[in-house]
Structure 1
Amino acid sequence: MATETKQQSPHLKRFHYTQDVAVDKPFNWQQMVRLLQYLKPYSKKILPIAIIAMLVSTIVRLVVPILVGRVAIDMAIDNGNTNLLIQLVVGIAILYLFSYIGNMVRIKYVNLLGQNVIYDLRRHLFSHVQHLSNRFFDKKSAGSIIVRIMNDINSLQELFTNGIINLLMDIIMLVSIIVILFVLSPQLAAAVVIIIPIMFYISTKLRKNIRRSWQQVRIQQSRLNSHLNESIQGIRITQSFAQERENTEFFEGVNSDNFDRWQTATRKSAMFRPFVEMSNAFGTAILLGFGAFLIIQGSLTVGTFFTFALFIGMFWEPISRLGQMYNQLLMAMSASERIFEFLDEEPNVKEKEDALPLNDVSGHIEFDNVQFAYDDERIALDDISLEMKPGQSVALVGHTGSGKTTIANLISRFYDPTKGAVKIDGTDLRDVKLDDLRQQISVVLQDTFIFSGTIMENIRFGRPDASDEEVIDAAKVVGADEFIQRLADGYETEVEERGNILSAGERQLLSFARALLADPRIIILDEATASIDTETEVKIQDALKRLLEGRTSIIIAHRLSTIRDSDNIIVLENGHILEQGNHDELMAHGGEYYGLVRSQFQALEQM
């Protein structure tokens, strides 16, 4: 059914044309060593306890078969020594008690170790992503970032909770068993373990395929999460265009491909265990045949043969687990590649080691022959020079793509200019501390973001140490207090993700209150009143004046009526400054600004 749906949907054809970026690489042991570095903080307390507990239970497992075969059968039973047999039974019971305690301690501490490592890794990745530049988020979808922080790190949990200690235990077990077998009977041991080189050769052939399959699983999971994130955020658009069926079909295709990749990867991984069991069967057949021959010849005792049989049963167990562990390592490597891809990402906007503090800012902004391009194909700003004096209100106007938002982004240092310099109070922004700079700037966007939490917490976001009274005062200044008081719990009202219980205008008023409370020297309003109706806008004009009073303000607006009182209006086109001046000067000049005002005035008249 999923296949038929995929063939019918045009969206799914687009999906299937997406290029697969899974690549074949050798197993990267350096990367695995790097991953294991996260064990270091626990290498003095938790890890040693887990290893000691593992060694206790492993030693017991190795000693018991020798006691049963060589002592119980060859010495006690053959000689009718009942006392020795009783002592042996008591001794083995005590050993198993130690093994039980060892296993309990091992399980407790490896789980504690694993949870701590996963916690540290997720915190490290999230913290790193928080400090990456805007260029990174321009290239990466929210879904792909979520996959790495959640799914990819979760896939490492088994490796750190059980895998590492079990790997060490199985290697010790396997090497010890081989040594013991050769000590007991070199002839029989050589005959039994001859199957290992053949098994190793065939298993290596499976590794490349298995690893590539798990890579593809991770890629497909990223696509699935990206689509889910996009679908949920865009649900209103989907419903408004009645595209629920098409979107469901597209999801069916993505989900189906994710299912297929998982099926393929697990099927290939599952081939290893039956192969080990088949090898076990061959080894057991050799043991029975050749072991019986040696007993008849008198070169092997029944007790030694029984010990051999016990060890052979134990021998294939760690081999099977090592095969599963290798699959786990492949999954971990696939996930760690994607995690380290993000951790190795360097921010384009970097703070210098000797960055200067930025205190007592007056808000004097200069653009000195600034050029900026988001990519090699299009220059967003071309040799821009301008000045914004302290406390001045500067409006940026122009058609879409003229460079208005780019100027705002450069002032906040979300990007660095390709050429030239942006300065505040005469200091190049590249020379100052980023936190100091951004604490001096508040940005109010058209699509303001409201976080899950209370109204109080959202207003306080830019200044966490503000008192409740200061929060309420800020809300009153911008006219938000009136609607907040009407809410069921007032300032303690819980708002849902993105503030969906609030209207667009109410969300914007909250963003004004948030900006005012932060008390910045520079305020950027990027289409900040576009989501507010004309009546509401009139009500908050006084509030905006108080918000901008004494501060350098950069106002980006298509609604030109909101900027006519600005001290300086800069008209942009294709990254160039066409003209600048106040409203009266530009209208008298009769240039581009005059044309924009006239066209908007005519449009309003026609309405």
Structure 2
Amino acid sequence: MNALAGDRPLSEIELEEKYAQKDLERGIVHRLLPLLRPVRGRVAAVISIELLQVLAIFARPLLIGLVIDRGLGHGAGPADMRLILWACLGLALSWAARFALGGLSQYFAGTAAIRVLNDLRSRVFAHVQTLSVSYFDRTKAGRIISRADRDVDTLEPLLIQGPPQFLSAILRLLISAALLWMIAPALLVGLAGVVPVLAIATMLFKRVAQRSWARVAENRSRFTAHLVETVAGVRLIKQAGRERENLASYQVLLDDFNTALVRGSMRSGWFAPFTGLLTTVGLALILLVGGRGVATGALTLGELTQSLFYVFLFLAPLQEFSDLFERFANGSACAQRIFLLLDTDPEIRAAPDALTLPRIRGAIEFRDVRFGYHPDKPVIRGLNLSVAAGEVLAIVGPTGHGKSTLVQLLTRFYDVSSGAVRLDGHDIRDISEASLRRQIGVVLQDNVLFGGTVLDNLRLARPEASDATLIAAARALGADEVLEALPHGYHTDVGPLGSQLSQGQRQLVCLTRAYLADPTVLVLDEATSAVDVSTERRIQQALRRLCEGRTALIIAHRLATIRDADRIAVVRDGNVVELGSHHQLIGRGGTYASLYRAY
């Protein structure tokens, strides 16, 4: 695949757009709102609580103004202590309500956030599992992890906390404006000049901030990807002595991230001081106009005091908008990338009327198969090969000539470019993926175990099996001697990716797992290439038992391990150049004989 746009290499996000065959969405509000549907009751509760908190806030200036104008005598009479006490009680209750309602709001918002983010995280995880193998071949693991983890977390302030706080700010703005108009319209008119300036500044801030935080999110995913690759390849890095160079590469990525973060902060950092300036201007206006009103008798001292509170309540949301819009910019930038991942469709899709096959006989046919991982670089070129049900076929040939690719095509991790792969006469593209892969068991050279015990890994093949059944399978294959010699036997923890076991021990676990799955077709791709001779003999015994009554494809470099195969296919340049038994091919003195002599 060409990764160039003209003479410029595509960025990683442009590559994601190319793989998804969709552009990054800029307006994503219509995609975010449905996420709140399962928690709309909690969101409504948070909004209702915010409304009550706003009412509690506005009770305070009313009570203070009442005390100043009516509770204090202003020299005309004694102070009304009863009114002052009731006002103080009201103020205390308003603060108590604010604290209680704040805690309740956090509870509803927190539980809603947990539900929404977990649902989204599960949705992303489930979608990632549906993507084709080709997607993982070309996408760094760290980028996928960044989407499913950090980017999802970034949505919480945007989705849960943001809307109620934005509503609260708008209500405080409107209510304070209405009350100012009732007390002194001239004060509101003076403040009205601030609003258009704020609106223009907000639009500019939103545009600049969204672009800036998009770059920050992109650079964050890059150093996360590098970290994941380092953890996965730490042995190679240490063996090659490349720790310093690898650290330097990581620091370059961190510098890019920090530069984007600083630039983003610089570009958007002006908004908070700018709103602070607007607040100062507003206060100056209120003092000027309000002081004149008190002097002329148009305003009482209590009304002026209330007006000062209302001005603060009018201007405070203007300062809060900077934080709210920064959250929106950061969250929407991450949401764009999450939805781009969710919009990426798997390349391998089941037919609408895909077949669910019962247990098959196991006949395999590759008919005129052509395939290349890149369209202009074919790996398989018009290959024809038939394997009878129950036959053991070995596939040999030079590295890079298409042996393992046949396994990828048979298991439908990739689809053929032309031709067909058939199983019992059915084109595998007409068989459901679950049904197809239940029929085929694969044991690779790079065997994969998951964190847990040996029994946990065996149970992946047969979840309902008892420990006794799993152990009996290991004994039937002759793997028991090795596995029972582990420190805790079958209860030994295998470590991350099986790192606590040797290569041979891992391979025996994988063979036992394949035996438990009981597939009709068995594929062994270099299954004994990385073990010692003693373990290889044990594995060969297990393989003979495993292949009984099954169609088996064995890909091997150790040619001595496949001498007993029913037939041997020699693959070269993406085609079958020789086919026959070991003795027949040796007698011909062709490619296989040359490979065998070299071995």
Report the TM-score, using the length of structure 1 for normalisation. 0.91
Indicate how the Cα distance of structure 1 residues 105 and 487 shifts in structure 2: closer, same or farther if over 3 A, else same.
same
Q: Per-residue displacement from partner, 1:409-440 (whole Å, max 9, x unpaired)?
A: 11111111122222211222122221121112
SS of the residue 2:30 aligns to: helix
Aligned to 2:42: 46
Is this contact kept in 1: 2:112–2:160, CA < 8 A? yes
CA offset at residue 89 of structure 1? Answer: 3.2
- One-letter amino acid matched to 1:235: V
Is this contact kept in 2: 1:524–1:555, CA < 8 A? yes
Aligned to 2:546: 547
Mapped partners of 1:188, 1:350: distance in 2: 66
Is this contact kept in 1: 2:24–2:337, CA < 8 A? no
Is this contact kept in 2: 1:394–1:570, CA < 8 A? yes
Q: Per-residue displacement from partner, 1:158-181 (whole Å, max 9, x unpaired)?
A: 324422221222222222222332
CA offset at residue 60 of structure 1? Answer: 1.5
CA offset at residue 467 of structure 1? Answer: 1.6
SS of the residue 2:341 aligns to: helix
Is this contact kept in 1: 2:528–2:539, CA < 8 A? no
Q: Per-residue displacement from partner, 1:167-211 (whole Å, max 9, x unpaired)?
A: 222222222222332233222101023122123323433333322
Mapped partners of 1:522, 1:368: distance in 2: 18
CA offset at residue 310 of structure 1? Answer: 0.2
Is this contact kept in 2: 1:361–1:425, CA < 8 A? yes
Q: Per-residue displacement from partner, 1:39-94 (whole Å, max 9, x unpaired)?
A: 11111x3222222212111122123323432x333344468554444433333433
Aligned residue pairs total 580
Tell me, yes or no, if structure 1 residue 447 matches structure 2 residue 446: yes
- One-letter amino acid matched to 1:405: S
Is this contact kept in 1: 2:528–2:536, CA < 8 A? yes
- One-letter amino acid matched to 2:68: I
Mapped partners of 1:253, 1:101: distance in 2: 48
CA offset at residue 22 of structure 1? Answer: 7.2
Q: Per-residue displacement from partner, 1:443-501 (whole Å, max 9, x unpaired)?
A: 11111112110011112222211221221122223332112222221111112102122
Aligned to 2:29: 32
Identity value in percent = 34
Mapped partners of 2:566, 2:26: distance in 1: 62
SS of the residue 2:365 aligns to: strand
Is this contact kept in 2: 1:446–1:530, CA < 8 A? yes
Mapped partners of 2:353, 2:68: distance in 1: 77
Is this contact kept in 2: 1:479–1:509, CA < 8 A? no
CA offset at residue 18 of structure 1? Answer: 8.3
Indicate how the Cα distance of structure 1 residues 21 and 406 shifts in structure 2: closer, same or farther if over 3 A, else same.
closer
- One-letter amino acid matched to 1:42: V
Aligned to 2:361: 362
Unaligned runs of 5+ in 1: 1-16, 601-607
Indicate how the Cα distance of structure 1 residues 75 and 170 shifts in structure 2: closer, same or farther if over 3 A, else same.
same
Aligned to 1:225: 224
Aligned to 1:604: none
1:289-438 equivalent positions in 2, closer than 5 A: 289-438=288-437
Aligned to 1:242: 241
Tell me, yes or no, if structure 1 residue 196 matches structure 2 residue 186: no
Mapped partners of 1:88, 1:252: distance in 2: 60
Indicate how the Cα distance of structure 1 residues 468 and 193 shifts in structure 2: closer, same or farther if over 3 A, else same.
same
> Relative to structure 2, which stretch is displaced further, 255-264 or 229-238?
255-264
- One-letter amino acid matched to 1:66: L
Aligned to 1:59: 55
Aligned to 1:74: 69
- One-letter amino acid matched to 1:35: L
CA offset at residue 20 of structure 1? Answer: 5.5
Is this contact kept in 2: 1:159–1:332, CA < 8 A? yes
Is this contact kept in 2: 1:22–1:212, CA < 8 A? no
SS of the residue 2:553 aligns to: strand
Aligned to 1:10: none
> Relative to structure 2, which stretch is displaced further, 75-84 or 34-43?
75-84
Q: Per-residue displacement from partner, 1:516-569 (whole Å, max 9, x unpaired)?
A: 111111111111111112232123222111011111111111221122221222
- One-letter amino acid matched to 2:55: I
Report the TM-score, using the length of structure 2 for normalisation. 0.92
Aligned to 1:114: 113
SS of the residue 1:580 aligns to: strand
Mapped partners of 2:25, 2:512: distance in 1: 51
Is this contact kept in 1: 2:403–2:571, CA < 8 A? yes
Unaligned runs of 5+ in 2: 1-7, 15-22
- One-letter amino acid matched to 1:56: L
Mapped partners of 1:461, 1:413: distance in 2: 21
Mapped partners of 2:26, 2:232: distance in 1: 40
- One-letter amino acid matched to 1:514: R
Mapped partners of 2:537, 2:94: distance in 1: 84
Aligned to 1:272: 271
Aligned to 2:101: 102
Indicate how the Cα distance of structure 1 residues 181 and 20 shifts in structure 2: closer, same or farther if over 3 A, else same.
farther
Mapped partners of 2:45, 2:323: distance in 1: 25
Aligned to 1:4: none
Aligned to 2:579: 580
Mapped partners of 1:175, 1:577: distance in 2: 79
